[in-house]
């Protein structure tokens, strides 16, 4: 039986990739050919830079390309999307002189080698395109890396294909002018015929402690069973950014890895209170996706002792999954870290080099709960996008009675507070056509997750069970489009204080992406490609028992590219 409830949301009318691969170059290569994108030099003051940007021909081109793609039915309106061509990993997220800066692997159509694209924001939500920041010279491609905000400058470290670890610095107001330290790699790849290096050179992470700068280079080590590879990070130090000394592998007691994982795109920083005294390392595995480790930073031995870990992917990286993280300290909460991911495409295109498809997730804020587990919530001024608020007050959800909310849209935020009571599962469908030719299914199982004994077992004490629920995003019926790719459901554990406790679902829908936050304890995201113009509906149902909707709020979201 279906009952109908109308949720009146105004529909906003819009005016009308590839996964990163491990580098195959094993040896140091000759300097690469110059980029085909002109290198522009900008003034030293904000006033000068803004005036120059108004007339910058490359930026005008980006604006024109963005406007030309505005009518694409799958192009998000409040997630960051590259202005032209495609993109890959986000890089070097940082907060400098009151503004957020996002860099990313850009593929300009006339020179599809990776450059560092660039965007700036006042609130981490409304992004403004800027010209290319870092160019592939003398390296052949600018792969991933991170930034460190020093006292009077921003330092970027990234992997330069064919050369090694590159370091560049910038100190101007909008970070438009970058200079590469030494003009070449500061941690070099080996020359052909030389002995193997004791470390791998790949995506670096940089920070400073005392008078020393530190760089981690991501990779693998043959420390697994029967000589199999496991992820590893290799530590280097320097006083001047130009001369680096290799120290040793950085990870210790890392029991949270899978055989075959690698430690690409690392980001290492303190998290939590001073009493908790923890660090977090975000990273990406080309085999199993985005991950994190939490642990203790032993600064005397310069080792990261891992005590906890988890995932950001709960299904395949591609098609349509969460990819690599980029992060930085939260300037408003020094106990937290802010970051975002690129989301892989879930649709095929004939020419992937010129068509957009990868996008950025919404920014996330990670912190630690009192018990030391990871907390995750949306970051940035996402509330500034809300329009046409509608609210539904409490009502019962009888077993298997599907409630239908009409007149909703495909670019919205939903917050649902639900008491599962004795229901076995809560089902919420979004991007649903009236006859269910297309829909994306969000499921919450309050008692069907992991049950883990995490504390040490003693003869006289049986450790309590830690209960988890399960969040599932099922895209198997999301699209009837012939080029939409199929992926298995995303299935994520959700830590629960008590079984069947009330749950808060915060859901973001934006044309071709669905992101779900649960109780500020978990987040899962997928790409979806509904083909029908009427695939905008929302339904809610309790399965296997009765439940109660405590409240439902919904907003149409503003287009940040208007």
| Inside any domain, residue 186 | yes
Q: Are residues 364 and 415 in the same domain?
A: no
* Whole-number Å distance between alpha carbons of 189 and 201: 7
Of the three residues 360, 378, 396, the one that is the final residue of a domain is 378
| Inside any domain, residue 50 | no
Q: Are residues 394 and 310 in the same domain?
A: no
Q: Are residues 373 and 509 in the same domain?
A: no
Non-local CB neighbours of 400 within 8 Å, separated by 6+ positions: 1, 541, 542, 543
| Structure-token pair, residue 192 | 């052909």
Q: Are residues 99 and 144 in the same domain?
A: yes
| Inside any domain, residue 21 | no
Q: Are residues 309 and 391 in the same domain?
A: no
- Banded pLDDT at 18 (limits 50, 70, 90): very low
| Inside any domain, residue 190 | yes
- In tens, the pLDDT along 69-102 reads 999 999 999 999 999 989 999 999 999 999 999 9
Q: Are residues 296 and 236 in the same domain?
A: yes
| Inside any domain, residue 20 | no
Of the three residues 337, 357, 378, the one that is the final residue of a domain is 378
Other CB atoms within a 10 A radius of the CB of residue 252 amount to 13
Q: Are residues 260 and 370 in the same domain?
A: yes
Note the pLDDT of residue 500. 79
Q: Are residues 497 and 467 in the same domain?
A: yes
- Banded pLDDT at 515 (limits 50, 70, 90): very high
Q: Are residues 356 and 401 in the same domain?
A: no
Starting at the earlier edge strand, list the strands of the sheet with 251-252.
Answer: 251-252, 303-311, 289-298, 278-285, 264-271
Residue that is written with structure tokens 């670890």 in the block: 165
Note the pLDDT of residue 26. 66
Count of domains observed in the chain: 2
| Inside any domain, residue 25 | no
| Inside any domain, residue 41 | no
- Banded pLDDT at 12 (limits 50, 70, 90): very low
Between 318 and 462, the higher pLDDT residue: 318
Q: Are residues 457 and 540 in the same domain?
A: yes
Collapsed DSSP state (helix, strand, coil) of residue 469: strand
**E strand segments, 135-172:** 142-149, 154-160, 164-170
Mean local confidence (pLDDT), 140-165: 97
Q: Where residue 178 sits, what CATH number does that domain have?
A: 2.115.10.20
List the one residue out of 409, 532, 416 whose CA is nearest residue 477: 532
Collapsed DSSP state (helix, strand, coil) of residue 227: helix
Indicate if the pLDDT at residue 197 is higher than 80: yes
| Inside any domain, residue 30 | no
Q: Are residues 521 and 465 in the same domain?
A: yes
Q: Where residue 547 sits, what CATH number does that domain have?
A: 2.60.120.560
How many angstroms separate the Cα of 461 from the Cα of each of 259, 452, 457, 464, 465?
33, 15, 7, 9, 12
Give Cα 397 distance to the centre of its chain: 34
Note the pLDDT of residue 356. 87
Residue numbers of the domain that contains 111: 56-378
Other CB atoms within a 10 A radius of the CB of residue 353 amount to 13
Q: What is the pTM of this model?
A: 0.93
Indicate if the pLDDT at residue 122 is higher than 90: yes
How many angstroms separate the Cα of 150 from the Cα of each of 68, 147, 171, 230, 472?
39, 9, 10, 32, 41
Q: Are residues 8 and 63 in the same domain?
A: no
């Amino acid at each position: 039986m279906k009952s109908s409830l109308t949720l009146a949301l105004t529909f906003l009318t819009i005016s009308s990739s590839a996964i990163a691969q491990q580098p195959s170059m094993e040896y140091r290569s000759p300097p690469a050919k110059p980029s085909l994108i002109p290198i522009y030099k900008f003034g030293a003051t904000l006033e000068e830079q803004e005036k120059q940007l108004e007339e910058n021909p490359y930026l005008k081109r980006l604006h024109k390309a963005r406007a030309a793609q505005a009518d694409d039915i799958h192009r998000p309106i409040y997630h960051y999307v590259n202005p032209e061509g495609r993109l890959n990993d986000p890089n070097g997220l940082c907060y400098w002189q009151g503004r957020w800066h996002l860099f990313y692997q850009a593929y300009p159509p006339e020179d599809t080698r990776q450059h560092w694209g660039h965007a700036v924001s006042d609130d981490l939500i409304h992004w403004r395109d800027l010209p290319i920041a870092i160019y592939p010279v003398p390296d052949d491609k600018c792969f991933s890396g991170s930034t460190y905000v020093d006292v009077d400058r921003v330092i970027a470290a990234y992997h330069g294909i064919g050369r090694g670890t590159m370091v560049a610095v910038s100190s101007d107001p909008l970070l438009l002018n970058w200079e590469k330290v030494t003009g070449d790699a500061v941690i070099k790849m080996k020359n052909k015929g030389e002995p193997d290096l004791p470390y791998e050179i790949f995506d670096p992470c940089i920070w400073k402690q005392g008078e020393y700068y530190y760089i981690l280079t991501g990779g693998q080590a043959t420390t697994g069973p029967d000589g199999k590879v496991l992820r590893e990070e290799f530590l280097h130090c320097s006083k001047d950014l130009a001369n680096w000394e290799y120290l040793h592998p950085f990870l210790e007691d890392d029991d949270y890895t899978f055989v075959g994982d690698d430690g690409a795109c690392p980001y290492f920083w303190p998290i939590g209170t001073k009493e908790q005294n923890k660090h977090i390392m975000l990273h990406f595995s080309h085999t199993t996706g985005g991950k994190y480790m939490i642990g203790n930073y032993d600064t005397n031995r310069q080792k990261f002792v891992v005590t906890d870990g988890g995932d950001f992917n709960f299904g395949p990286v591609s098609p349509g999954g969460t990819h690599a993280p980029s992060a930085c300290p939260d300037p408003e909460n020094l106990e937290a870290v802010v970051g975002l991911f690129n989301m892989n495409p879930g649709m095929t295109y004939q020419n992937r080099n010129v068509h957009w498809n990868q996008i950025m997730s919404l920014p996330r804020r990670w912190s630690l709960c009192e018990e030391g587990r990871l907390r995750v919530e949306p970051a940035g001024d996402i509330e500034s996008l809300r329009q046409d608020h509608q609210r539904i007050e409490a009502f019962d959800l009888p077993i298997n009675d599907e409630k239908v909310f009409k007149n909703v849209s495909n670019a919205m935020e939903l917050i649902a507070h639900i008491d599962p009571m004795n229901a076995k599962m809560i089902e919420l469908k979004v991007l649903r056509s009236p006859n269910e030719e297309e829909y994306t299914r969000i499921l919450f199982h309050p008692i069907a997750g992991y049950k883990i004994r995490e504390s040490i077992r003693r003869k006289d004490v049986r450790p309590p069970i830690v209960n988890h629920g399960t969040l599932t995003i099922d895209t198997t019926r999301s699209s009837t489009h012939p080029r939409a790719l199929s992926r298995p459901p995303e299935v994520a554990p959700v830590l629960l204080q008590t079984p069947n406790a009330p749950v808060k679902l915060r859901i973001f829908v934006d044309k071709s992406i669905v992101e779900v936050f649960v109780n500020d304890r978990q987040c899962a995201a997928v790409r979806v490609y509904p083909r029908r113009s009427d695939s905008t509906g929302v339904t809610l149902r309790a399965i296997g028992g009765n439940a109660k909707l405590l409240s439902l709020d919904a907003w149409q979201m503003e287009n940040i590219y208007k």
